[in-house]
Chains A and B, each alone.
Chain A
Amino acid sequence: MCAQSEENMKLIIATIKPFKLEEVRIALTESGVTGMMVTEIKGYGTQSGHTEIYRGAEYAVNFVPKIRLDIVVSDAEADGVVSTIENTAKTGKIGDGKIFVLDVDQAVRVRTGETGDDAV
């Protein structure tokens, strides 16, 4: 068992508009973030769904496509990452997404066995 590292880490989960992904990725990379997990998701929040028409029949699109980012960083970096995402993903229109910050107990780099901050 490796010892729990002293540094704490945060998991930042962000849902953003798909067209903002590239801009957010570039901004985060420039701010020193070295990795992220990206998933194509569907969901709804305040934006809710909308209606479309197919061959004359109206239907509801309940789930809106979004991109989910999962980023783990040290505590010290977390605020910066959150504000970078917030500033870059923002369009000011409904459906810009949400950012969640969670505590992370441990991280391990599989190749080297490094733990904690060193692993992320």
Chain B
Amino acid sequence: MKLKTLIPAFGAYMIASTVQAQETAIAVPTDSVFILNSLLFLIGGFLVFWMAAGFSMLEAGLVRSKNVTMQLTKNMGLFGFACFAYYLVGYNLMYPLGTWATEGVISGIWGPAVLEAVGVDAAGADDYSYASTGSDFFFQLMFCAATASIVSGALAERIKLWPFLVFTVILTGLIYPLQASWKWGGGFLDAMGFLDFAGSTVVHSVGGWAALAGALILGPRIGKYTKEGKTVPFMASNLPLATLGTFILWMGWFGFNGGSQLAMGSIGDVADISRIFANTNAAAAAGSIAALILTQLLYKKPDLTMVLNGALAGLVAITAEPLTPTLGSASIIGAIGGVIVVFGVPLLDKLKIDDVVGAIPVHLFAGIWGTIAVVFTNSDASLSTQLYSIIVVGLFTFIASAILWYILKSVSGIRVSEEDEITGLDISELGMPAYDIVK
């Protein structure tokens, strides 16, 4: 009995004293705040990095076996190019730090990212009151690369490798950083009060819009839609890989949303990050269950590929606001994401927009939903500002992407030949089957 009463009292004492210490810490920058903030960026960053593996496995699993090597090549290629594009121009374009060419719209800093000097002390750090530049660059780079990963899945099995990679360079070097500066770089959308915590719009919808523009201009895969307007299913080649990819993305999302707290140097921040982890997880779980139950009801049998998409849609939906919802409301937000996917996939097919892995329903449709859903749990959000931002970012990304796709189409063509597409890109473009057993 004595022990029972003692422990809470002791716990309360500990919390009280830490809060006191923390209050001092906010007033005066300390090494530990700098270290913990940087650590959050590094941990979050490598978790988001790992999402590249998730996208690769998901896409490799959902394409047909004759296009797997190409899909993996695109995923490796896009990641590498995204890293350079973001380093050379993207990072400074996204974070003008007040130096605008056009106030709130276009950064005034065009040039490569520069890291802190080697072995700096407190006085030598770029921003001792916050975090190391390298950790911030590393973290933000991974978000940029994730945006490009979204595009590759939608356009799989028919797009040429090099035009796709050229698109990736422009997307990650210019399109993504430019629109991201409007919110996260302190630009005009941020000034208006637009809320997008970890990027339902800034990352996921942007990837989705770019993919939609590409899918429209590229056209569907040969034989996907019959003259009578029926959809012909092209079966996934490897559902274990697709499932592994989904779980990897789910795991990476803890870094994606948790790291977007952008600070870990106080009790409040750590408690918030913990909330974000739990809410992110709840939304994914609810999204997968919603898709599982809904496909059972609609089709009499559950569809695993939809369950995978449902989990991801739940994650995308909670990304705009993973902090303020309760576990219950996070679950509802995620579940609605899952429902959106189950209806979104056949809807795109009805419109003859061929999205191989469901990237557009998952990242664009659920991203829009998540951005709107912020208003239900965060009283600082205004519906009109959320809608305005969705439209502005959507129009900019869609139009910029469409122009770029058209230029690539007229310069080099973006689609492989009919024969190559039917043979499969692995053999025709790469001469390298993914599975030795492929005939």
Q: Is the CB of B231 within 8 A of A57?
A: yes
**From A52, A55, A59, contact of B305 by CB (8 A):** A55
Q: CA–CA, A57 to B306, complex, Å?
A: 12
Q: CA–CA, A52 to B295, complex, Å?
A: 12
Q: Is the CB of B346 within 8 A of A57?
A: yes
Give A19-62 as 1s and 0s: 1 = Cβ < 8 Å from B's Cβ atoms. Answer: 00000000000000000000000000000000011111101000
CB distance from A62 to the nearest CB of B (A): 13
The binding surface of chain A is classed by DSSP as: strand
Name which residue of chain A comes closest to B301, CB basis.
A53
Contacting residues, chain B, for A59 (C-beta < 8 A) = 232-233
Question: How extensive is the interface on chain A, given as a class?
Answer: under 10
Q: CA–CA, A65 to B303, complex, Å?
A: 21
The residues in B between 215 and 251 inclusive whose CB is less than 8 angstroms from any CB of A are 230-233, 235
Q: Is the CB of A55 within 8 A of B345?
A: yes
Q: CA–CA, A53 to B301, complex, Å?
A: 8
Q: CA–CA, A20 to B23, complex, Å?
A: 73
* B299 sits at the interface (CB 8 A): yes
Give B131-142 as 1s and 0s: 1 = Cβ < 8 Å from A's Cβ atoms. Answer: 000000000000
**From B232, B235, B303, contact of A53 by CB (8 A):** B303
Contacting residues, chain A, for B252 (C-beta < 8 A) = none
A interface residues with partner B (beta carbon < 8 Å)? 52-57, 59
Q: Ordered nearest first, which 8 A-B pairs have the shortest CB separation? A: A56-B346, A54-B233, A57-B231, A53-B299, A57-B233, A59-B233, A55-B345, A56-B345
B interface residues with partner A (beta carbon < 8 Å)? 230-233, 235, 299-301, 303, 305-306, 342, 345-346, 349, 358
20 A-B pairs whose Cβ atoms sit less than 8 Å apart in the complex: A52-B301, A53-B299, A53-B301, A53-B303, A54-B235, A54-B303, A55-B305, A55-B306, A55-B345, A56-B231, A56-B299, A56-B303, A56-B306, A56-B342, A56-B345, A56-B346, A56-B349, A57-B230, A57-B346, A59-B232
